[in-house]
């Protein structure tokens, strides 16, 4: 028994550090990311969350499925898709006008607008510091195992801020 406790004392902090800063597993509940996640309403998807790119490298990409801390409930994690990054202009469907994303923030939306509380209808632009990691793979249930695709609806982003990659106007729409 003493050997087990000694091993536990050694490995527990290492495991906590690993899941806090490198990679973790998360059970996704709810239908806000349907059909990307939780395609079957009876089985929540268990997903792999990669954290290095957000926590260490601060590398956020449009189309990532991100895990974040809820702006209004600091102990609750949400899963949403990054639609726009700082200095981008996105179409705010709730206000019916374009919105420029301020420095240090991003625009997040669920893939299922009827079931999602997100930047459109609850939070507006969300601080990048709330982002915890990006969902890379579904790892359970077995019939759903696979990579989570990065994409975003082209009609939502009006102007993509210049990131040195030749990006520019997506859909000016008169704005």
Within 10 angstroms of residue 102's Cβ, the number of other Cβ atoms is: 12
Check the CA dihedral 119-66-22-13 and report its sign: positive
Question: Of residues 32, 51, 116, 119, which has the active-site annotation?
Answer: 32
55 is catalytic: no
CB atoms within 10 A of CB 89: 21
- Whether 59 sits among the annotated catalytic residues: the reply is no
CA distance 104 to 24: 24
Cα-based distances in Å from 39 to 32, 76, 108, 109, 136: 11, 22, 20, 17, 16
Q: Which of 51, 80, 116, 119 is catalytic?
A: 80
Q: Catalytic site residues?
A: 32, 80
């Amino acid at each position: 028994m003493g050997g087990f406790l000694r091993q536990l004392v050694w490995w527990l902090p290492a495991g906590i550090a690993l899941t806090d800063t490198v990679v973790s597993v998360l059970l996704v509940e709810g239908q806000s990311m349907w059909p990307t996640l939780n395609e079957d309403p009876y089985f929540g998807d268990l997903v792999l969350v990669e954290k290095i790119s957000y926590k260490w490298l601060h590398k956020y990409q449009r189309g990532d499925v991100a895990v974040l801390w809820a702006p209004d409930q600091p102990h609750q994690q949400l899963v949403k898709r990054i639609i726009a990054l700082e200095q981008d202009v996105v179409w705010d469907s709730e206000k019916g006008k374009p919105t420029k994303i301020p420095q240090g923030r991003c625009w997040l939306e669920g893939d299922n607008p009827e079931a999602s509380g997100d930047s459109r209808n609850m939070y507006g632009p969300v601080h990048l510091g709330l982002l915890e990691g990006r969902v890379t793979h579904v790892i359970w249930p077995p019939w759903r195992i696979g990579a989570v695709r990065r994409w975003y609806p082209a009609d939502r982003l009006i102007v993509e801020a210049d990131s040195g990659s030749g990006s520019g106007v997506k859909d000016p729409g008169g704005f």
